[in-house]
Structure 1
Amino acid sequence: MVMSTNDIRFIVGIIGNVLSFVLFASPMPTFRRIIKNKSVEEFHPYPYLASTMNCLMWIYYGMPFVHPHSILVVTINSVGLFMQLCYISIFFFYTGKRYRLQIVSILFGEVVGLAAAVAGTMLGLHTYASRTTVVGILATAFGICMYGSPLSIMYKVIKTKSAEFLPKTLSIACFLNGICWAIYALLKFDPYILTGNGVGALLALIQLALIVIYRNPPPKDQKPSKVELQNVV
């Protein structure tokens, strides 16, 4: 029995859901370390804040009144949203005033941004095609931000010659997830899922290259002081 393109796409979507769950779960070792040490050390909250907005936009994209028949997009991003909020809560608890203010400000901005997107598309656009286009572009942009957010510490990695604080499991999961969802998008052409995840896979590949290049950090006595590290941020 020959499987149809829709059947194959559904199977790839299921695999994509599994890989996306692995992606969303990949920061767990980082947060176990944060809880154990009672400190966020040099880790940044930006990847998790970017992932939160990414999940919100893709959930909205998959709604029946925006882009019908996208249940697999909605399910995994709903799970991802819950997990990102858990990570952010832990980070907020163990970080200092500087990051707490940033986290609150960014989350507030994300809620306002989502509300504006919903209001604008629901009140101003009246066809599936127009809503899909606008929300798809927004979701793609935030998806690329999510994939590229660990690169916010790229300069620090190069400066210190250590990839210690570039999340390895997150980068691997991002690469595999991007490839899988790009294939999903090609089977029934979806330019927004394809673009976001194709670029995401490329950005994750850059992160993996940095991890390989700087996999052996210099001895501790050769690492820059905390003051020097702060100047890098």
Structure 2
Amino acid sequence: MEPAGAMEPAGQDTPAELTPAQTAVLILGYLSTFYVLLAPLKTIRAIKAAGAVGQETATMYLCVLCNSLVWLLYGVGADDKAIMGINGIGVLFQAYFLYVFIRASTDRFKQCSYVAMVLAASASVAIYVYVFPFIPDPKDRKKAFGQAGIFSGLAMYCGSWGRFRTVWRKGNVVRDLDLNVVVSSLLNGICWSIYAMLIDDDLLLTPNAVGIGLAEFQLGVYAWYYYMGSNDNNGDGGDDNINLLRDDDDEEEDDDHNNRRDDEEDDGDNNNRHDGGDDDNEEELLAPGRQATYRIQTIE
């Protein structure tokens, strides 16, 4: 994770000892980083159980993977085992998430994911092998990777914005936006922004301050749509099923199927009213099957 990666002021001397306040905020920063890593687990488990990804994308996981790799190299350059450790864990988490995606995705998506991961890993190795020898000073290494971490951190915070296309189109944040991802991003940005101000590190502060603004906006959108959904559903707040994996093509197919069933039902009522009971029973048998095909219940 980018925030956990930039623990020290890039380009400055490492402080001999952290103050109690800095230590406390640093611990909170680590906890918030683990929250970010664990936030998508519900979605990943649902994808693994369903064996399909639908319209869900791996953009966020690829962004976090690249971000973790950048700050892992930052830790290597700074010879900081704590930074290397937490970002190494981040790489493992994202690699597992992408592995689940690849197994549940189409061949085309697998190819794209493989290429992206290979490029990210190759770039990391190339930087380590070819760039580090030309930057012998650890302070210069930290500054170089800290600057790269600004862009990777911004990409990480923006990675979840692909979900908003679905939210704006459907207006159901309960199904189409993972609240854990938004809340974890907000807490992560707050903790590491406070720490950056305590140690006077602008490279660490910049991406996390922007991340706070993005997360606050997403929470505002979530609250608005949740409030509107609660009014529409008499306080229920919408459907709590995970519907992230439902394809647009599936929705269109269901609409066509439902329209055909309505037409058939109307024809049956007009021409064969004595068979209406059998038709209703048949529809009741068909409907749950269709729904079960595309519905994915929340996995606790």
TM-score range, shorter chain: 0.7 to 0.9
| 1:181 equivalent in structure 2 | 192
Task: State the alpha-carbon separation in 1 of the partners of residues 148 and 209 from structure 2.
Answer: 16
Question: Is 1:103 aligned with 2:125?
Answer: no
Q: Structure 1 residues 194, 40: closer, same or farther in 2, change over 3 A?
A: same
Alignment pair present for 1:194 and 2:205? yes
Q: How much identity, in percent, do the aligned residues show? A: 23
Q: Which amino acid aligns with 1:113?
A: A
* Bigger mean CA deviation after superposition, 70-79 or 12-21: 70-79
Aligned pairs, number? 221
Q: Corresponding residue for 2:87?
A: 77
Structure 2 unpaired stretches of 5+ = 1-16, 233-237, 240-245, 253-300
Q: 1:54 aligns with which of 67, 71, 94?
A: 67
8 Å Cα contact 1:5/1:187 also seen in 2: no
TM-score by length of 1: 0.84
The whole-number CA distance in structure 2 between the counterparts of 1:160 and 1:117 is 43
- Contact 2:65 2:95 survives alignment (8 Å): yes
Cα RMSD (Å): 2.6
Greater CA radius of gyration, 1 or 2?
2
Q: Which runs of 4+ in 1 moved over 4 A?
A: 217-220
Quote the residue 2:225 is aligned against: 214
2:124 corresponds, among 114, 126, 139, to 114
Amino acid at match of 2:70: M
Amino acid aligned to 1:195? T
1:37 paired to 2:44: no
Cα pair distance change 1:146/1:36, threshold 3 Å: same
Query: Offset at 1:121?
Result: 3.2
In structure 1, the gaps of 5 or more residues are: none
Counterpart residue number, 2:10 = none
Distance 2:134 2:41 in 1: 41
Structure 1, residues 185-205: CA drift from partner, whole Å, max 9, x if none? 111122222112221222222
